[in-house]
Structure 1
Amino acid sequence: MACHPRTFGKVLRYAALLSCLSFTLPHAASAAIELNQYDKLETVEGITANKTVVVQLKKLLGNDYDNFISNFDVYGEPHHTAEDGLFVSGWLQHLAQENASVFVIYPDGRLSAAWILPDDSVVNYRTNHPGDGIDKDIQQWASQLEGKTLPDIAPQASSFSGTWQGKDNDASTLSLKLTQKGSKLIGTYCYITQGGNRIDCADEDKPNLMGSVKNNVATISFDSNFGAVNGQATLKLEGNTLRWTMTRTPENGEYYAPEHYNLIKEDVPAGATTRLLQTAKFSLFVRNNCGAFSKPCDDMLYNGVRNSDNTTISLKGKTVQNSANDVVGAEFHNGNITYRIDYQPPGLVVTQGTKVLVKQPAKWLNE
């Protein structure tokens, strides 16, 4: 997708940059896993060494990860599930009924895991898509355990709240920012199409869609920022995917919104804050994942777009403090190149060793 944030007004430039850059973030890390390379007995062992899978499992299991992974001494025959997931099982030698673990991972990021230890009477179970209840393949595995029962977990209603992102072969992007309170839904949509030449985006603090939720399906009405009003669409939650289907086009004006679209939830830490800067040659997105933007943090995110050709770069970094421990900027590294964002006065400095590659003043776009 070609994004040209420098050519639009403040509100559209802000929304367009956020939508464009969000696709450089690892919000669906497991989507990069080629599950087929682990679907044979002679190769399955490699999946528990795959860095992306390990990160996903640790995120899901927390302090239980060590107990879970320690059971993988012997591996069982893996198999694909009915929904194209991969079922992986393991146990300690000769202890398949006492120390055993399984997980099911899907290309879209869904993940469920279960394990038993000798003193357990109830199978331990974790999932990142509770709206689907206990995974059917894990249920089948658990039914073969002697004296072990599954926990009583009924399907739970999933929340629509969060930022949802999708892209279509680099030709368009759709971003939804939703807040669900009970059965009520409110939020904004941002649709960029025609190679960045048509941008239908709402200001973040001016919702342009609302509706209601029932049984993991939301029925919404939405207004275009080009004047058309009262469009209608359904949003359906299916695991880690949100499916947009327009059921009535907006009326009495222009609009840019897709008929069908699939979106994935962006994994943004709760309370994270984002600021945007503009220099003569770059548009910059900086996020503090620790909370308030001026809070000391070792988990900063930098995304930059070069205005001339829309080349993007995504880096991790940390805040910079002065002698009084006040946060005065943030620093990011790409090999031996350092990117520094100064907060006051705002600016971008890029250096390679002692050589200054870029030094440009900036202005905040979302003060």
Structure 2
Amino acid sequence: MLTDKHCKNAICPPDKKRARFTDALGLYLEVSPTGSKRWFWKTYSGGKEGRMALGSYPATSLADARKARDAAKMQKADGIDPVLARKVQKLKSSNPTGDTFKVVALEWYAKQKDRWSPGHAERLQRQLERDLFPWLGERRLREIEAVELLATLRKVEERGAIETADRGLMLARQVWCYGVATGRVERDITADLKGALQPYRGRHFAAITEPAQFGELLRAIRAYKGGPIVRAALQLAPMLFQRPGELRAAAWTEMDLDAALWTIPAARMKREKEGKEYGSPHLVPLPTQAVAALRDLYRLTGHGTLVFPGERSHDRPISENSVRTALITMGYTPEVQTWHGFRATARTMIAEVLEVDPLVIEAQLAHAVKDANGRAYNRTQYVNPLR
């Protein structure tokens, strides 16, 4: 076995690359020709010899090297690979920014922000700052318990914001998952809150899906005596069943009435930031009735940019409330039929009554292909079957 005197006097002969001085139980001191001395512990895994560095001499004394060896042996006896455990620990300690909830949340936010639309990014940041940071921001992520997170989210529930509390939990889950991935915390505590919050049941947009009742609605739209711009939007909504924001902000440059095709730029679609910037435009075939309605409307608004300009400013489209109010005037309250509900009406009746291929309907609705791999390759727009 080595002594401190042996370690201090150990040298490497000039004709060797290195010299080893064995202590006991796999511990040895390796000396290089330059005089540097390092401690190693010999390991075996899968029949192959390896080694684990334990520090440099004299910074790590003989006694300290033996303690480090014994600690590594205990880890191995417990089924833990000491070399791998040390690598993991180094990775965990490589987060110089800190490990408070606020630090981890903002780090996660910064890495994801470029994928989101500006509006979505602003909403998430506002919720972090309003609902989570005041109570959890300065706490170390690994020290926060599930009951603390629950108490924080119940403050949101207490003001009647059930949906916001549910979104807050989903937001916290993303932060904890990121914390686990970066070694700031061992596990995701948000899983412990399952069933602890008031259940949020998302509201569906009211929609008529019975053919006879829908026929009555179409006749009411045809008889509507309101302004021509809103009347045209009312007529086109059930024909084209696009999202209200996409229809009301339509520009004449997007319309090719001769080709009976409406091309909505990717930037105007409901997509993530990448899809808006690099995605394909959405193609909407125009039926004969839609072309006729648009030609009539062109005589009124074709001199401007927007298909459905507002009354006060022709640079801004009609509001979503304009069609909502028209529906209410006809006796169709938000509990019966909504503008957005025309999409559900179309999805249900075209599939059940006309028995059209669901893929064709989903393409017209601009819904993403749900198969994880399909989106990258299936870019079919189904323009012809929709005419």
| TM-score class, shorter | under 0.3
Whose helix fraction is larger, Structure 1's or Structure 2's?
2
Whose strand fraction is larger, Structure 1's or Structure 2's?
1
TM (norm. structure 2) is: 0.20
Pair member with larger Rg: 2
TM (norm. structure 1) is: 0.21
